[in-house]
Chains A and B, each alone.
Chain A
């Protein structure tokens, strides 16, 4: 199998380049991550990437695979067009090879105050939440912060410092939608800004890119609707 992998070592290279590899994937290799680690083990231990759970839930190995963002550990080798072109997630500074600097991404995540805030007194037992209200969080809380969505979004590429981006906005809506959170107004005020929220032009790349099949665009639309209904 042929792979063409983005290589960049800041200590020795002035600019990045694609390097071709040809390997015979082992009998147990089913996913792209297996092939990349085979190269790292057998051919070149300096090939650099993040990985951990190898089952699509930790969000470490987001990368750009044949032009689309995805997680290497759940991208089947079968069906990948060769040579498989593997690049780091676009739009973020590259630290080395397939490893990007996620600072800006996490800064936006933190900016939405991604934690439950409640002004209600804490009850002795659990707060009650109807199953239907809890169902509002489905499709929101499952985000794994892999950045596949935000780094596929042109608005985020242009304004990573000002536009919260699809991942951050999905989280923002996760707390707006939570009946236990009492700071909805504050959260909406914070997002009511030409950049933070309104740079989203519903291009929907984020929906295509999300390996967990979440829909950030829908969450963004819901934030906008909630804002509107508040004004009415």
Chain B
């Protein structure tokens, strides 16, 4: 379809961009309540990256160890290094219990205990009684929990008549003539046709952006598209300096092996065969917070105690667990180790390195998923725009997410978004009649790619990923980041000149990749600027030149504004909904 040709229009009560766990839980709530809801997803929904989640979903059911949502809340606040919003965290942990039972009722094939209840495994950072003994709080379907969850939610959406637009790439959201959020511009990948989705509410559920780093557990599809859309619309991104490095990515491959491996009794050893986590976290050992474990590994490697000819990784030992446990509880991990590391963990430890895994920052929202704008004053709600899942920053994960807390975030806040839209539907106003001019900017972004000569998007993409990896890694300093910023700015400038040679309208994936590149640039830019700005160490953001946490100056959210790469701040919500505040304390495991 050439520029200027007619746009196809579709109108819904709500349009959800993204068919991962977050998007599908939101759409399900709306469809089940009788709303006309569309899910627009660039990959077929069950191919979303939620499918790759392994270890489980955290919820204080208390099936295996005594438990309480308030303990879950304590652990999550502590895990966040006190920069998570305590109202949202209380909401998360209280509702975690009900949403997991709901998933079970929907058919999710959880693993079971002998008495038939849902199986739960210990994960990092989980305690009983506010910092006491290890808790077992993560509900699992073997080591395929994300797959089981995503397929279950997809199936329920089929049952309730959600309208699916599979393999539609959303370019930007659209405002009407009065500036209200009014819909989404998308390309049907199969035909190249442009669509305008008109809706009373737009929900962004586009997932993470881990693809800005070279070594990541994230899928190709995790390019931070929702963040790009929001920044292009002049709205801020929050806490983008906080990226989780997962301790156990398979060395060289990036593919994840779950924290559940350590929950089931596995542990890490260095080149001397030493179980080094005993030194760094005497109590929790290998189940300390992810940031703590990842840093300890990085230190071991930097100090020459790594493994392998280049001493560039450590080992995850599982062979002492016995083949029964591995075959029953970690079957997919075994498959991954054999395929990607060439070792069978029943006999041989798996080579692992800290690997970029999760984006704690994102689109700021309140606990109803409503997107927040704030440019130096009070928070303002952006009417009719919602964000949920990894693309959102509610913030329940703060500076460091606990394992198993993302899947529950998707489902708790996915449901909350659906409820909020439904409960306030009358006030949202009817979808506006959009004319073509409303989509001009987005259409222009597509058409500019058709130039004959220009930069190769794949090369720029890889250089950006190398730059972020080298300059914004586990340990950061002003100097390394400044050098990175200079390299990055040159690359970002060249990204304006990208050319796509493929001129075919049918299933043009080169064009989609070039559009994704814009979003990667935005996410990377926000990351470096925010990380340079925060001169303290907190959670996953570890500055070698500012090693301490500084609550006096930095107990606040970072806001990144795309225009002029400006930084602003928002206060942390320290006041929970009903219980007392957990005051910041030194964080030890």
Interface residues of A (CB under 8 A from B): 9-12, 28, 30, 40-42, 45-46, 48-60, 74, 76, 95-97, 99, 101-102, 110, 113-116, 118, 122, 124-131, 134, 137, 141-142, 144-145, 175, 178, 180-181
List B contacts of A12 (CB < 8 A): 504
Query: Does the CB pair B51–A58 fall under 8 Å?
Result: yes
Query: Does the CB pair B105–A127 fall under 8 Å?
Result: yes
CB distance from A2 to the nearest CB of B (A): 22
Query: Does the CB pair A46–B504 fall under 8 Å?
Result: yes
With A76-B339, A126-B105, A127-B104 already in contact, 16 other A-B pairs whose C-beta atoms are closer than 8 Å: A28-B252, A50-B509, A52-B49, A52-B219, A52-B221, A53-B52, A57-B147, A115-B152, A122-B105, A126-B104, A128-B116, A129-B112, A131-B113, A131-B116, A141-B151, A175-B107
CB distance from A201 to the nearest CB of B (A): 28
| B190 CB–A CB distance under 8 Å | yes
Bound: A53/B340 CA distance, A: 13
Query: Does the CB pair B52–A55 fall under 8 Å?
Result: yes
CB distance from B406 to the nearest CB of A (A): 16
Q: Which residue in B117, B148, B255 is a CB contact (below 8 Å) of A128?
A: B117
| B285 CB–A CB distance under 8 Å | no
Query: Does the CB pair A115–B156 fall under 8 Å?
Result: yes
Query: Does the CB pair B101–A126 fall under 8 Å?
Result: yes
Known: A48-B509, A58-B52, A60-B43. A142 touches B147 (CB 8 A): yes
Query: Does the CB pair B118–A126 fall under 8 Å?
Result: yes
| B131 CB–A CB distance under 8 Å | no
Bound: A96/B504 CA distance, A: 10
CB distance from A191 to the nearest CB of B (A): 18
CB distance from B308 to the nearest CB of A (A): 16
Query: Does the CB pair A115–B500 fall under 8 Å?
Result: no
List B contacts of A49 (CB < 8 A): 509
Query: Does the CB pair B116–A51 fall under 8 Å?
Result: no
Bound: A12/B502 CA distance, A: 12
CB distance from A113 to the nearest CB of B (A): 8
List A contacts of B151 (CB < 8 A): 141
Bound: A51/B49 CA distance, A: 11
Q: Which residue in A46, A110, A142, A180 is a CB contact (below 8 Å) of B501?
A: A46
Bound: A12/B340 CA distance, A: 39
B interface size (C-beta, 8 A):
60
Query: Does the CB pair A58–B510 fall under 8 Å?
Result: no
Q: Which residue in B44, B190, B253, B504 is a CB contact (below 8 Å) of A11?
A: B504
Query: Does the CB pair A134–B112 fall under 8 Å?
Result: yes
A-B contacts, CB under 8 A, total: 151
| B109 CB–A CB distance under 8 Å | yes
Bound: A126/B159 CA distance, A: 21
Known: A114-B158, A130-B112, A178-B109. A60 touches B507 (CB 8 A): no
Q: Which residues in window 93-140 of B have CB below 8 A to A?
A: 100-101, 104-107, 109-118
Query: Does the CB pair A45–B101 fall under 8 Å?
Result: no
Closest to A115 in B: B155
24 A-B pairs with CB atoms under 8 Å apart are A10-B506, A12-B504, A41-B456, A45-B502, A48-B508, A50-B43, A52-B47, A53-B49, A54-B219, A55-B340, A57-B52, A58-B43, A58-B46, A58-B48, A58-B51, A96-B504, A115-B152, A115-B156, A125-B101, A127-B105, A129-B116, A134-B110, A141-B109, A178-B109
List B contacts of A11 (CB < 8 A): 504-506
Query: Does the CB pair B158–A126 fall under 8 Å?
Result: no
List B contacts of A122 (CB < 8 A): 105
Interface residues of B (CB under 8 A from A): 43-44, 46-49, 51-52, 61, 100-101, 104-107, 109-118, 141, 144, 147-148, 151-152, 155-156, 158-159, 190, 219-221, 252-253, 255, 332, 335-336, 339-340, 456, 458-459, 500-502, 504-510
Query: Does the CB pair A53–B109 fall under 8 Å?
Result: no
Query: Does the CB pair A99–B507 fall under 8 Å?
Result: yes
List B contacts of A58 (CB < 8 A): 43, 46-49, 51-52, 219
Query: Does the CB pair B106–A116 fall under 8 Å?
Result: yes
Bound: A25/B25 CA distance, A: 41
Query: Does the CB pair A115–B43 fall under 8 Å?
Result: no
Closest to B115 in A: A128
List A contacts of B100 (CB < 8 A): 126
Among B48, B152, B506: residue with most chain A CB under 10 A: B506
List B contacts of A144 (CB < 8 A): 46, 51, 147
Bound: A155/B184 CA distance, A: 41
Query: Does the CB pair A134–B51 fall under 8 Å?
Result: no
List A contacts of B253 (CB < 8 A): 30
Among A51, A52, A99: residue with most chain B CB under 10 A: A52
List A contacts of B335 (CB < 8 A): 56
CB distance from A162 to the nearest CB of B (A): 21
CB distance from B120 to the nearest CB of A (A): 11
List A contacts of B336 (CB < 8 A): 55
CB distance from A57 to the nearest CB of B (A): 5
Closest to A42 in B: B458
Query: Does the CB pair A96–B255 fall under 8 Å?
Result: no
List A contacts of B510 (CB < 8 A): 40, 45-46
Bound: A125/B105 CA distance, A: 9
List B contacts of A40 (CB < 8 A): 458, 510
Bound: A145/B61 CA distance, A: 32
Closest to A118 in B: B105
Among B44, B109, B114, B456: residue with most chain A CB under 10 A: B109
List A contacts of B148 (CB < 8 A): 141
Among A46, A118, A122, A137: residue with most chain B CB under 10 A: A46
Bound: A51/B222 CA distance, A: 12
Among A10, A101, A122, A134: residue with most chain B CB under 10 A: A134
Closest to A58 in B: B47
CB distance from A143 to the nearest CB of B (A): 8
Query: Does the CB pair A54–B112 fall under 8 Å?
Result: no
List B contacts of A141 (CB < 8 A): 109, 141, 148, 151
Known: A52-B47, A95-B507. A178 touches B255 (CB 8 A): no
Bound: A178/B151 CA distance, A: 15
Closest to A145 in B: B46
List A contacts of B109 (CB < 8 A): 134, 137, 141, 178
List the 4 closest A-B pairs by CB distance, nearest first.
Answer: A116-B107, A128-B116, A115-B155, A46-B502
CB distance from A44 to the nearest CB of B (A): 8
Known: A115-B156, A115-B158. A53 touches B114 (CB 8 A): no
Bound: A125/B193 CA distance, A: 47
Query: Does the CB pair B506–A96 fall under 8 Å?
Result: yes
Query: Does the CB pair B507–A54 fall under 8 Å?
Result: no
List B contacts of A180 (CB < 8 A): 107
Query: Does the CB pair A59–B505 fall under 8 Å?
Result: no
Query: Does the CB pair A130–B49 fall under 8 Å?
Result: no
Query: Does the CB pair B52–A48 fall under 8 Å?
Result: no
CB distance from A77 to the nearest CB of B (A): 13
List A contacts of B339 (CB < 8 A): 56, 74, 76
List A contacts of B107 (CB < 8 A): 115-116, 175, 178, 180-181
Among A96, A142, A180: residue with most chain B CB under 10 A: A142
